[in-house]
Amino acid sequence: MANVLTHHARVLGSVGTSSLTAWRGCLVVKAVPQPEQPLILYDMEGCPYCRRVREALTALNLDVEIRPCPKGGRVFRKHAEATGGKQQFPLLVDENTGAVMYESEAIIEYLFRQYAGCKVPGYYRERVWQPILGSMASVASAMRGLRASAGNQPEQPLHLWSFEGSPFSRLVREKLCELEVPYTLHNLGKEHWTEIGPAAQRIKPGPYTPIPGGKRDAFFKAHGRVQVPYLEDPNTGEGLFESARILAYLQTQYG
C-alpha cells in the first residue's frame, strides 16, 4: 500500500512538472523524417535545460539515443567530456552533420533549422521566465533524475516509447537516468489535438484511430493500442507497459 501511495505521489509531482513547463513536448509540431544516423544526447533527466531540448525533439517527433549523465555518474560523463571538451549538459551529437553542440537554445534552433527547415516556433522559444519555471518544475519532481544511484549496465541499450510531457513516462526516464542505463528514446508525441487525454479515453469519443502512416499508427498496428511509457529490453526480451511495472522491473534488473 505504501508503495502504491508513493507512486501516486510521484505521478502528481510529475503532473506538476508538466504543468509548470506549459505541457510543451506533448503535441507534434512538425513530424520530420528520422536522420540516417541517430542523434545522440548526453542528458540529465531532471535538468531544466535538457528538458527543453527533449521538448523540441518531441515536437519534431525525432528519436534520440540517450546517454544519461547524472551527477556522480561514472558511465558516460567522461565520454561526454572527451567528445565535447567539458562535462556540461545537454550535449547533442549529430553524426549526420558532424555537429557537437552545447547550450539548449542553440541546440533547439539547430534541430528546427536542420530537420524542419524553419525557425523555432514561438511556443518553444526561450523566455526570460523559463529558467525559474524550469527549476520549479524540477523541484515538483523532487529533483529526481539528477543524481546517480548504484546499478548494473545492460549489454545493449533499452528502448523507451515516450513523449516529453507525459507524467508517467517522466518517472521511467528519471529511473533510467539515475541508473545510467542508456536507451533509445522513441518519441511518440500526439499527432492531433483529438489525441489529447489518457490512453483509455481521449477527447474524441469512440474508438481510437491514429493518423494513417504516422509513428502512432505503426505503434498501434504493433501493439493494438497507443500508450506510453512502453519499454522494450533486448537483453531479456521483456516488453512492458505501465510506469509502476516498468519501474519495478528496472530496479530488479538493473538497480
222 falls within a domain: no
Between residues 123 and 108, the one the model is more confident about:
108
* Averaged pLDDT for residues 142-155: 89
49 falls within a domain: yes
Distance CA 103, CA 45 (A): 15
Q: How many helices (H) and strands (E) does the chain have?
A: 8, 8
119 falls within a domain: yes
Amino acid at 180: E
Distance CA 41, CA 36 (A): 16
- pLDDT at site 223: 95
60 falls within a domain: yes
162 falls within a domain: yes
pLDDT above 90 covers a percentage of the chain that reads 72
In this model, does residue 108 exceed pLDDT 60? yes
Say how many domains are in the chain. Answer: 1
In this model, does residue 44 exceed pLDDT 90? yes
201 falls within a domain: no
Distance CA 239, CA 227 (A): 13
2 band by pLDDT with thresholds 50, 70 and 90: low
- pLDDT at site 209: 84
CATH of the domain at 237: 3.40.30.10
Distance CA 178, CA 119 (A): 34
- Which is nearest to 253 in space by CA: 163, 158, 185, 174? 158
216 falls within a domain: no
- Which is nearest to 232 in space by CA: 154, 178, 144, 145? 154
Q: Which range among 11-25, 29-43, 78-92, 222-236 shows the weakest confidence by mean pLDDT?
A: 11-25
DSSP H helices, the chain, are 2-20, 48-59, 77-84, 104-111, 130-140, 167-178, 215-223, 243-254
* Averaged pLDDT for residues 111-127: 93
214 falls within a domain: no
Whether omega for the bond prior to residue 229 falls within 30 degrees of 0, making it cis, is yes
CA atoms in the 13 A half-sphere facing the CB of 207: 4
In this model, does residue 172 exceed pLDDT 80? yes
202 band by pLDDT with thresholds 50, 70 and 90: low
Mean pLDDT of the chain: 91
pTM of structure? 0.93
- pLDDT at site 200: 60
Between residues 140 and 62, the one the model is more confident about:
62
Residue-range definition of the domain harbouring residue 45:
2-188+228-254
